[in-house]
Chains A and B, each alone.
Chain A
Amino acid sequence: MSSMLIQSILSGVVLGCIFTLIATGLAIIWGVVRMVNFAHGSFMMLSMYIAYFMATIFNIDPILSIPICAGALFVFGVAVYKIMAKRLIQGKFLMQVFGTFGLMMALDHAVMVIWGAQYRVLHDTWFGGTVEIGGYYFGEGQLIAAALSLVVLGLVTLFLFYTKMGKALRASADDEVAAETVGIDSEKMYTYAWGIGSACIGVTGALMANFFYIYPQVGMVFMFFGFVCVALTGFGKTKGMLIAGLTIGIIRSTSGFVIGPWTKDVMIFAVFVAILLLMPQGLFKGK
């Protein structure tokens, strides 16, 4: 019994790493552009399809297509900003939500129209088996996804804190007007934020393609987990994101085990509402 509980906590930790990467992409766009990307989950879905077709057509393992997915999504994110978001941020907030929400609908159903609604799974990937560590079992795909998520998170953190570009992005997120007065071009920052945020979700998509079903609406629930993490850390911040992600992952997997499988998402919703009500600033003070 208790070993089952530990098993579910460990699975939660693995899930949590993945959620953190999803949330980080979301938070970068949210923080810098001050715009919620409701299509974030659909971006992940697109990346999963890219990884899927890379694997089935060109025989490239999803792990190897990570750079391809990240690059493709970077370009896609920039394109979405240039074509759509740039105009939306000048308009009313209501229309920003509708615009990105419309993008989510359009992407999901464009994929459905083109490739059909059936569930796809990749077989014969490099990391398709299960592995036993100290008596607990993990999917290799999940483990490698968690590990690489952490690596990418590390890289993103290094980028944000130790490069000129990253510092400029953070400055712009902190105080856009002040950043502009010291010569940081907001327009450029917005473009990069969309690109980098989308690239993060692109990496997640390639990692998820290893072990998860691929279908047009796959993104929605993951976007939701991303939002909950963002709410936990405080909107638009990235500090503490990993703790938030792990918490959400553990709550999800243990409540499914302790109470019943159907409570998994309900519990997270309850946590989400509770956080928003009790701690609208997030769990961690400061930026």
Chain B
Amino acid sequence: MLNQILEEIRKKKMWALFTVFVLSVSVVIPFIIDNDFIIAIFLWTFVYIVLGSAWNLVGGYTGQIALSHGVFVAVGAYTSAILWVYYGITPWLAFIIAPIIAGCIGFAISYPTLRLKGSYFAMTTLVFGFIVWKILLQWDYVRASVGINIPWIPSFSSMIFATPRGYYYVSLVLVIGVVAIIYVIDRSKLGTYLKAIKQDDVAAENRGIDVHKYKVYAMTISAALSSLGGIIWAQYVLYVDPNPFMESATMSLRIALVVIVGGLGTVLGPILGSSLMIPVELYSRTYLSGWERGGYSLLIYGIIIIVLAMYWPKGLVDAFNKIKRRVRGETHGKAK
């Protein structure tokens, strides 16, 4: 077992070194930079790496377009807010409870709807998010459209920190955990099945893969992982209402977008995509905030999506691989 891992590392020495380098830089960044805004940008980027990686499992690997992930993020956010504000239970517990709830919801919604193909699944999940949004806006237990305010009491047990640095480390740990999970799935039998389903689900079915079962697995795991991002969201923003998660499917779209930009169905895709898109969005939003009318960033998002879908559907990872091949001088082998 250990030998295998060592062998793996030896084979991919450059990658391992690079990963260690990026990780150690990530750890020391809060000590070097003392601009809270930049730390917050890192924090949001991390949150979207988590969400993007989770979505990638169902949208990228399995090729099923789920547009309901805002719901699962909301489950995380509401779980941690309700635990802490209503019952005084530490939000850390939400890291266990929220994935279970979100996983159950993901299972419940995907079990019937994943029998549908393509657009029908996309449409159903889109509408599911819309319906949940409508329900939450009316549901008094979660304080409907008023939203839940989380009182600012910094302490470790409340998972509220005085500076973004605390959140930075929590989300960094989360990123490492989630990306590791996706990496393992990518190389496991499950990952192979999912990719096979994306390639050709009829052929996969003929080879004896229970297509529906594995699609549901992917969606359930994806939903559970998505909720983790919501917990950090709630404890950082300190205010939870339905709009940021589900209003006109904005969040679900943003999650999908970072993956498309980075590269669908790759471990690296969501990381590259988030690292590019989230800082761009936050900067542009900050500098355009003087403008009285909102919607600029989403207009730009829509246009980027159209252009990517038309001209560059394979994302940054593909471009990266092409450059790598060129650097190595490999001419054989066709573009992936």
Give Cα distance in the complex from A227 to B295, angstroms. Answer: 26
Q: Indicate which residue in A91, A101, A265, A277 contacts B313 across the interface (CB closer than 8 Å).
A: A91
Q: Contact between A276 and B124 (Cβ–Cβ < 8 Å)? A: yes
Q: Contact between B309 and A99 (Cβ–Cβ < 8 Å)? A: yes
Q: Does A97 contact B (CB under 8 A)?
A: yes
Which one of A2-10, A49-57, A111-119, A184-192 contacts B? A111-119
Q: Does A284 contact B (CB under 8 A)?
A: no
Q: Contact between B293 and A265 (Cβ–Cβ < 8 Å)? A: no
Q: Does A147 contact B (CB under 8 A)?
A: no
Give Cα distance in the complex from A277 to B112, angstroms. Answer: 7
Q: Does B162 contact A (CB under 8 A)?
A: no
Q: Contact between B298 and A94 (Cβ–Cβ < 8 Å)? A: no
Which one of A123-131, A202-210, A215-223, A240-248 contacts B? A215-223
Q: Contact between A110 and B310 (Cβ–Cβ < 8 Å)? A: no
Complex contacts, B116 vs chain A, CB 8 Å:
276, 280
Complex contacts, A84 vs chain B, CB 8 Å:
306, 310
Which secondary structure dominates chain A's binding surface? helix
Q: Indicate which residue in A92, A95, A109, A280 contacts B299 across the interface (CB closer than 8 Å).
A: A109
Q: Give the residue name and chain of the B residue nearest to A112 (CB).
A: B295
Question: What 0/1 pattern do residues 138 to 162 of B give for CB contact below 8 A with A?
Answer: 1000000000000000000000000
Contact residues of A between 256 and 287, Cβ < 8 Å to B: 262, 265-266, 269, 272-273, 276-277, 280
Q: What number of B residues sit within 8 Å (CB to CB) of A?
A: 44
Q: Contact between B134 and A265 (Cβ–Cβ < 8 Å)? A: yes
Q: Indicate which residue in A91, A231, A265, A273 contacts B130 across the interface (CB closer than 8 Å).
A: A265
Q: Does A61 contact B (CB under 8 A)?
A: no
Q: Contact between B305 and A94 (Cβ–Cβ < 8 Å)? A: no
Q: Indicate which residue in A91, A102, A109 contacts B295 across the interface (CB closer than 8 Å).
A: A109
Q: Contact between B302 and A106 (Cβ–Cβ < 8 Å)? A: yes
Shortest CB-to-CB span from A160 to chain B, Å, is 22
Q: Contact between B303 and A102 (Cβ–Cβ < 8 Å)? A: yes
Q: Does A159 contact B (CB under 8 A)?
A: no
Q: Give the residue name and chain of the B residue nearest to A83 (CB).
A: B310
Q: Contact between B135 and A36 (Cβ–Cβ < 8 Å)? A: no
Give Cα distance in the complex from A93 to B64, angstroms. Answer: 10
Q: Contact between A117 and B295 (Cβ–Cβ < 8 Å)? A: yes
Shortest CB-to-CB span from B145 to chain A, Å, is 12
Q: Contact between B293 and A113 (Cβ–Cβ < 8 Å)? A: yes
Q: Which A residues contact B (CB, under 8 angstroms)?
A: 36, 38, 84, 87-88, 91-99, 101-110, 112-113, 116-117, 216-217, 220-221, 224, 227, 231, 235, 262, 265-266, 269, 272-273, 276-277, 280
Excluding A102-B306, A113-B293, A117-B294, 17 further A-B contacts by CB distance (< 8 Å) are: A36-B119, A94-B63, A97-B119, A98-B260, A99-B305, A99-B309, A101-B253, A102-B304, A102-B309, A105-B298, A105-B302, A109-B298, A109-B302, A112-B299, A113-B296, A265-B131, A266-B131
Q: Which B residues contact A (CB, under 8 angstroms)?
A: 63, 65, 67, 112-113, 115-116, 118-120, 122-124, 126-128, 130-131, 134-135, 138, 248, 250, 253, 256, 260, 264, 293-296, 298-299, 301-306, 308-311, 313
18 contacting pairs across A/B (C-beta < 8 A): A87-B311, A91-B313, A95-B309, A95-B310, A96-B309, A98-B256, A102-B302, A102-B308, A105-B301, A108-B295, A108-B298, A112-B294, A113-B295, A220-B248, A224-B123, A227-B123, A235-B120, A273-B113
The 9 closest A-B pairs by CB, nearest first: A102-B305, A106-B302, A105-B302, A112-B295, A99-B309, A109-B299, A109-B295, A36-B119, A102-B306
